[in-house]
């Protein structure tokens, strides 16, 4: 699926069509550690268990690519006349791809741009962006009421993450 990246994207459809699977996949690739949050008893429950007609799979894998449309524009703004970036310009990558895999053996792996990474690396990449397993960026139907009825300090944590100051508190 492709999202434009501006405004709000709403995923609607009848029961059982996969809406929750999509939001679970996004939370999972971003580092969600609670099987209960993913509607399972154990983390291995994210691996396709098979049906009468289809064999079970040996792993679950989700890959998400995020594109920053401002990164290339900033890179070109910092370039000097001959098209080379000057020494003090920091080049932001215009896209990052993250992958999470879980094998039936219980082993898991994370990748950033195809290179093996740690969960911590994934978390550091997205801290303060509003993206993450507990973020406000992916809100399932029942969670809106939960956020509104949260204790003030819990609501504050969501607002701090939305404002981008969560990364400073963590560091």
**CATH of region 19-79+90-129:** 3.40.50.300
Cα 103 to Cα 21, 33, 39, 60, 75: the distances in Å are 18, 15, 18, 7, 39
Q: In the prediction, which pLDDT does 117 show?
A: 95
Give the pLDDT of residue 6.
72
The predicted pLDDT at position 87 comes to 46
Q: With beta carbons less than 8 A apart as the criterion, state whether 112 and 96 touch.
A: yes
C-alpha to C-alpha distances, 69 to 5, 91, 95, 126, 165, nearest whole angstrom:
9, 13, 9, 17, 22
Grouped pLDDT means (10 residues each) for the chain, 171 residues: 75 84 84 70 79 91 85 50 46 81 91 94 80 64 70 77 66 63
Using a cut of 0.85, tell me whether the model's pTM lies above it.
no
Would the CA dihedral through 55, 16, 42, 106 be positive or negative? positive
């Amino acid at each position: 699926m492709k999202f434009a990246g501006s405004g709000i994207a709403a995923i609607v459809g009848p029961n059982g069509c996969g809406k929750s699977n999509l939001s679970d996949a996004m939370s999972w690739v971003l580092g969600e550690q609670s099987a209960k949050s993913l509607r399972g008893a154990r983390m291995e429950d994210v691996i396709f268990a098979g049906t009468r007609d289809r064999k079970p799979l040996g792993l679950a894998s989700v890959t998400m690519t995020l594109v920053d449309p401002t990164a290339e524009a900033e890179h070109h703004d910092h370039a000097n006349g001959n098209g080379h970036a000057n020494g003090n310009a920091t080049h932001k990558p215009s896209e990052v791809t993250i992958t999470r895999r879980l094998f039936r053996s219980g082993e898991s792996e994370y990748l950033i741009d195809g290179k093996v990474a740690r969960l911590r690396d994934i978390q550091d990449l997205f801290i303060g962006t509003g993206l993450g397993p507990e973020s406000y960026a992916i809100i399932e139907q029942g969670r809106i009421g939960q956020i509104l009825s949260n204790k003030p300090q819990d609501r504050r944590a969501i607002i701090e993450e939305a404002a981008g100051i969560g990364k400073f508190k963590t560091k």
